[in-house]
Amino acid sequence: MHTIRKATLWGDRLFMTGVILMMGVICATIIADVIARYIFSSAIIFSSELSRLGLIWLTFLVMPLGISRGMHVAITAVQDNVPPLLRTGMWALSTLFVIALMVVVLMGALTSIDARSYEQMNTLPLTAAWYFHPVALGAGWSLVHLVVQLVDGLRHGRDAATPGETMEPTS
């Protein structure tokens, strides 16, 4: 399991690099477009499409990073008030549901990539499939994290499965 943890950390670094790059693309595109509009009175024709594409990539590249740290939204009012064995079972069942959801998202993304690979974007020399590549990558990498968390959680208890801190509401 140690090798898998190292591999997921390496993959997370790769995803974080992608997140940083996408933030740069979004910022640079929007700043350049604002400068072009106000100084040169001419918009950059592809700025809207490129910044939208960057935001989609950013969103789905950061998704598995949140899942890996346990920072996703979780409603645990019932789960926190039951005996530990039942709590572990409820956690495992909810993790299995999220795994099933990620499989559906991954399959939908792969289907959409195939269906949109011939459709050109309006202003960029790319196909519309590029909107769905990050969905597939994010869902696939999220699946890896969820399976690792499920195995760790069933082996060592639920707390070992979630390396991050849960976000408690503040008063």
Does residue 121 sit within a domain? yes
Query: With 50 as the cut, is the pLDDT of residue 85 above it?
Result: yes
pLDDT of residue 86: 87
- Tell whether 24 is covered by a domain: yes
Domain that holds residue 44: 2-161
134 near 57, Cβ under 8 Å? yes
Q: Is residue 168 included in any domain, yes or no?
A: no
Has residue 129 been placed in a domain? Answer: yes
Does some domain include residue 169?
A: no
pLDDT of residue 155: 82
Above 80 in pLDDT, residue 157?
no
pLDDT at 107 over 80: yes
- CA-to-CA distance for 151 and 158, rounded, in angstroms? 10
* Contact by Cβ (8 Å): 152, 160: yes
Buried/exposed code over 86-125 (b: 16+ C-beta within 10 A; e: otherwise): ebbebbbeebeebbeebeebbeebbebbeebeeeebeeee
Residue 105 lies in a domain: yes
Count of structural domains, the chain? 1
Query: What average pLDDT does range 90-102 have in this prediction?
Result: 93
- Residue 110: the pLDDT is 98
pLDDT of residue 84: 81
